[in-house]
Amino acid sequence: MRAGETAALAGGLAYTTFPAERPPMTESLLAAARRTPRDTWVVVGAVSASQYLNHAYLVLFPPILAVLSGEFTVGLAALGVALGVQGATNTAFQLPFGHLADRYDRSIALGLSSVLGAVGVLGAAAAPTFEWLLVAQAVIGVGVAGHHPAHYPLISDSTPDDLMGRAYSLYGFGGSVGFATPPVLIAGVVSAGYSWRIGVGVIGAVGLAYAVAVTWLFAARVDDTITAPNRDEADGSDTDADGSIGSRARGSWVARARAYLRELAAAPGVLALALLALVTSTSGWGFTSYVVVFLQDGYGLSLSRANLALTGSYLVGAVAVFVGGDLSDRISAGPVMIASFATVGVLVGVFALGTVGPLAAVALVLLVGGARSIAGPARSKLTDALSPSGATGTSFAITTIGVMLGNAVAPPAFGYLIETAGRRAAFLAVAGVSLLAVLLTVGLLARFGDA
Average pLDDT rounded to a whole number, residues 137-154: 86
Q: Which of 50-59, 216-225, 386-395 has the highest mean pLDDT?
A: 50-59
- The DSSP H or E segment spanning 14 is strand 14-16
Q: Please indicate, yes or no, if residue 16 is contained in any of the structural domains.
A: no
pLDDT band at residue 316, thresholds of 50, 70 and 90? very high
Q: How far is 344 from 351, CA to CA, in rounded Å?
A: 10
Burial, 244: exposed, middle or buried (Cβ in 10 Å; 0-12, 13-18, 19+)? exposed
Q: Which of 35-39, 47-51, 120-124 has the highest mean pLDDT?
A: 120-124
Q: Answer yes or no: is pLDDT of 124 > 90.
A: yes
Percent of the chain with pLDDT over 70: 80
Q: Please indicate, yes or no, if residue 154 is contained in any of the structural domains.
A: yes
Name the residue type at position 395: S
Name residues whose C-beta falls within 8 Å of residue 340's C-beta, 6 or more positions apart in sequence: 324, 371, 372, 373, 374, 375, 378
Over the stretch 401-435, which tens digit does the pLDDT of each residue have?
A: 888 888 888 999 998 999 899 999 999 999 999 99
Q: Which of 57-61, 98-102, 121-125, 333-337 has the highest mean pLDDT?
A: 121-125
Q: How far is 279 from 93, CA to CA, in rounded Å?
A: 20
Confirm if 59 and 182 have CB atoms less than 8 A apart.
yes
Over the stretch 367-400, which tens digit does the pLDDT of each residue have?
A: 999 999 899 888 888 888 887 776 666 777 788 7
Going by the DSSP 8-state scheme, the letter that residue 388 receives in this structure is P
Q: For position 192, what pLDDT does the model report? A: 87
Name the residue with higher pLDDT: 159 or 420. Answer: 420
At 364, which CATH number? 1.20.1250.20
Q: How far is 106 from 50, CA to CA, in rounded Å?
A: 13
Tell me how many domains the chain contains.
Answer: 1
Q: For position 34, what pLDDT does the model report? A: 59
Q: Please indicate, yes or no, if residue 97 is contained in any of the structural domains.
A: yes
Q: Please indicate, yes or no, if residue 214 is contained in any of the structural domains.
A: yes
Over the stretch 80-98, which tens digit does the pLDDT of each residue have?
A: 899 889 988 988 887 788 7
Name the residue type at position 135: V
Q: Please indicate, yes or no, if residue 9 is contained in any of the structural domains.
A: no
Query: Residue 332 — φ and ψ, nearest 5°?
Result: -170, 170
Give me the domain span that covers residue 141: 37-230+254-448
Q: For position 121, what pLDDT does the model report? A: 96
Q: How far is 261 from 252, CA to CA, in rounded Å?
A: 14
Least confident of 203-207, 311-315, 446-450: 446-450
Confirm if 55 and 176 have CB atoms less than 8 A apart.
yes
Q: Please indicate, yes or no, if residue 23 is contained in any of the structural domains.
A: no
Burial, 302: exposed, middle or buried (Cβ in 10 Å; 0-12, 13-18, 19+)? exposed
Q: Please indicate, yes or no, if residue 135 is contained in any of the structural domains.
A: yes
Q: For position 324, what pLDDT does the model report? A: 86
Q: For position 247, what pLDDT does the model report? A: 45
Q: Which of 68-77, 127-136, 222-231, 245-254 has the highest mean pLDDT?
A: 127-136
Name the residue with higher pLDDT: 17 or 366. Answer: 366
- Long-range contacts made by residues 25-34, C-beta under 8 angstroms, separation at least 24? 25/330, 29/166, 29/322, 29/326, 32/163, 32/166, 33/166
Q: Answer yes or no: is pLDDT of 52 > 90.
A: yes
Largest CA distance in the chain: 70
Over the stretch 317-356, which tens digit does the pLDDT of each residue have?
A: 888 888 888 888 888 888 999 999 999 999 999 999 999 9
If DSSP codes are grouped into helix, strand and coil, which group holds residue 93? coil
Question: CB count, 10 Å around CB of 239?
Answer: 16
Average pLDDT rounded to a whole number, residues 175-180: 86
Q: Please indicate, yes or no, if residue 13 is contained in any of the structural domains.
A: no
